[in-house]
């Protein structure tokens, strides 16, 4: 029988371990593993009086599989912080910013409060550029009476 893999990160769902995001399911994984092992035992022998180690190991593997699937589904439903900030900036650009172009300093000095540093603004600009909402102006642009070497045209509509 192969050794059963232990969860990484201590396995304690209450801490920042592997199963922290699915705490409710993770807290019951041992019971789920035992129930799955019991079903496998009854499939093998309907009259069985005890669970053998092979079925218990298989029940654990199945419970870990279901936990991994729950994590995958949970993570697929999460929107990354970078995309969330990019959406916030896009809303600001489309509904509040009146210039046809934007520069990095314009975004982090005048944009949404969550984007108040150059690094965050660079990530937001890169995301909006990747998704087609901003187009780099290679010659720069004049924005609000100030000449900017780096500027992006805002794609509206």
The upper half-sphere exposure of residue 60, i.e. CA atoms within 13 Å in the direction of its Cβ, equals 14
The pLDDT of residue 151:
97
pLDDT tier at 11, thresholds 50, 70, 90:
very low
The pLDDT of residue 55:
96
CB proximity list for 127: less than 8 A, separation 6 or greater? 82, 83, 85, 86
pTM, full prediction: 0.53
CB neighbours of residue 145 within 10 Å: 5
Whole-number mean pLDDT of the chain?
A: 88
Higher pLDDT, 21 or 145: 145
The pLDDT of residue 96:
96
pLDDT single digits (tens) 126-142: 999 999 999 999 999 99
Cβ atoms of residues 33 and 62 within 8 Å: yes
The pLDDT of residue 14:
52
pLDDT single digits (tens) 41-99: 999 999 999 999 999 999 999 999 999 999 888 877 767 788 889 999 999 999 999 99
Q: How far is CA 41 from CA 16, 34, 60, 76, 103, in A?
A: 34, 10, 13, 34, 66
Pairing mode of beta strands 141-143, 101-102: unpaired
Angle between helical axes of 29-44 and 53-76 (0-180°, round to 10)? 130
Nearest to 40 by CA among 25, 60, 26: 60
């Amino acid at each position: 029988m192969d050794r059963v893999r232990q969860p990484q990160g201590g396995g304690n769902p209450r801490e920042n371990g592997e199963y922290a995001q699915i705490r409710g399911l993770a807290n019951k994984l041992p019971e789920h593993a035992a129930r799955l092992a019991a079903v496998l035992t009854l499939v093998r022998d309907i009259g069985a009086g005890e669970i053998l180690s092979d079925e218990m190991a298989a029940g654990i593997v199945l419970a870990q599989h279901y936990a991994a699937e729950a994590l995958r589904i949970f993570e697929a439903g999460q929107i990354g912080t970078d995309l969330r900030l990019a959406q916030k900036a896009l809303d600001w650009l489309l509904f509040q910013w009146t210039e046809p172009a934007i520069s990095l300093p314009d975004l982090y000095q005048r944009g949404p409060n969550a984007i108040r540093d150059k690094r965050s603004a660079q990530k937001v600009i890169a995301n909006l550029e990747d998704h087609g909402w901003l187009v780099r102006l290679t010659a720069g642009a004049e924005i609000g009476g100030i000449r900017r070497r780096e500027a992006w045209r805002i794609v509206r509509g």
